[in-house]
């Protein structure tokens, strides 16, 4: 559905994207995560042909992003913050305007979404609040049952109920729709994302199935017989390392059940016990983001 090959984008002397490659296969839900300024929006704008790449290429539904036509666009739902909307039309008028462009527009689904999101049909779009505008763009992106949804931080400024209802709407289309969604809040896409790609300063740090990501992150707590001391060389895959009395704690980003405990026992002496717990997705993201920032410092 999306194939990105060695994508570069420069703004003057600043390289916003530095050779990103990734493939989004049909039926998957890809979460694009990364800190502010990492390059998520730039990637999505190139996919939607709002911007041209400086080097490399991206194909969307099999077509070079620079040549995307209304035919492909009628199969893609794109939502981004501050999307331009016709300010003078009412909500009702805008839906009526959109329908004829899409052969697969589903009026029942439209009614369901508009009801859930409580969009005031008679109100001019220019008079909608920020959150209502976002809801409007979300409500417009699903009724034509797009083959591909490109969602650029679609939930910023929305209350959690709206987010959950929209996610339920997406899940209702799971299987028929492939999703690329950028977010800072991994918890938001829990239960939806099948893959996670992490961008850091225009580079792809990793790109892997959600289950693998979950499996390799664990909070490890080691209790020693004596006050804990940090190893002379901290392994790269230990994040957020801290000690307190006899306890050493860290997030292991390369955890393998059994293997990891065995390795710790052989490397560190005086261990009384090792406790291992899964970590929330939010912690996965904040640990990674912090590690990236600390490495840059």
Chain contacts with ligand ATP (rule: CB under 6 A) = 11, 14, 16, 34, 36-42
Closer residue to ligand ATP in complex, CB, 34/143: 34
Burial 229-248 (b: 16+ CB within 10 A, else e): eeeeeeeeebbbeeeeeeeb
**Min CB(11)–ligand ATP separation in Å:** 3
User: What residues are paired with 222 via a beta bridge?
Assistant: 248, 274
Quote the least distance from Cβ 199 to ligand ATP, whole Å.
7
Nearer to ligand ATP among residue 10 and residue 261 (C-beta) = 10
Q: Which is nearer to ligand ATP, 32 or 228 (CB)?
A: 32
Q: How far is CA 101 from CA 50, 140, 291, in A?
A: 20, 12, 46
Give the closest residue to 287 by CA, choosing from 233, 223, 218, 230.
218
Smallest separation, CB 16 to ligand ATP (Å):
3
DSSP state of 157: T
125-132 LR contacts (CB < 8 Å, sep 24+): 125/85, 125/86, 125/87, 125/88, 125/89, 125/90, 125/91, 125/94, 126/87, 126/88, 128/91, 130/157, 131/157, 131/158, 131/159, 131/162
Q: Between 27 and 37, name the residue whose CB sits nearer to ligand ATP.
A: 37
Kindly tell me which of 14 and 71 has the beta carbon lying closer to ligand ATP: 14
Give the separation between CA 231 and CA 226, rounded to whole angstroms.
14
Give the nearest distance from C-beta 53 to ligand ATP in angstroms.
13
State in angstroms the smallest separation of the CB of 297 from ligand ATP. 18
Q: Which two tokens stand for residue 280?
A: 């929330």
Nearer to ligand ATP, 39 or 146 (CB): 39
CB of 204 to ligand ATP, least distance (A): 12
């Amino acid at each position: 559905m999306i194939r990105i090959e060695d994508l570069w984008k420069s703004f003057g002397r600043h390289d916003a994207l530095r050779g990103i490659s990734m493939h989004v296969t049909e039926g998957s839900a890809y979460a694009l995560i990364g800190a502010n300024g990492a390059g998520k929006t730039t990637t999505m704008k190139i996919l939607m042909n709002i911007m041209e790449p400086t080097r490399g290429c991206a194909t969307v539904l099999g077509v070079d992003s620079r040549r995307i036509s209304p035919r492909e666009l009628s199969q893609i739902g794109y939502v981004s913050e501050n999307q331009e909307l016709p300010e003078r039309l009412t909500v009702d008028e805008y839906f009526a305007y959109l329908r004829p462009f899409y052969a697969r527009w589903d009026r029942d689904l439209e009614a369901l979404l508009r009801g859930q999101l409580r969009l005031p049909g008679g109100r001019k779009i220019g008079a909608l609040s920020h959150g209502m505008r976002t809801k409007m763009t979300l409500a417009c992106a699903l009724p034509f049952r797009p083959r591909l949804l490109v969602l650029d931080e679609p939930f910023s400024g929305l209350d959690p109920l709206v987010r959950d209802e929209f996610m339920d709407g997406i899940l209702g289309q799971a299987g028929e729709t492939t999703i690329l969604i950028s977010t800072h809040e991994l918890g938001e896409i829990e239960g939806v994302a099948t893959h996670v790609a992490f961008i850091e300063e225009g580079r792809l740090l990793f790109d892997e199935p959600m289950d693998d990501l979950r499996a390799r992150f664990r909070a490890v707590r080691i209790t020693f017989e004596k006050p804990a001391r940090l190893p002379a060389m901290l392994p790269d895959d230990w994040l957020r390392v801290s000690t307190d009395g006899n306890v050493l704690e860290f997030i292991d980003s390369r955890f393998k059940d059994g293997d990891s405990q065995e390795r710790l026992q052989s490397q560190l002496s005086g261990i009384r016990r090792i406790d291992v717990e899964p970590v929330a997705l939010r912690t996965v993201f904040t640990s990674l983001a912090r590690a990236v920032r600390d490495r840059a410092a």
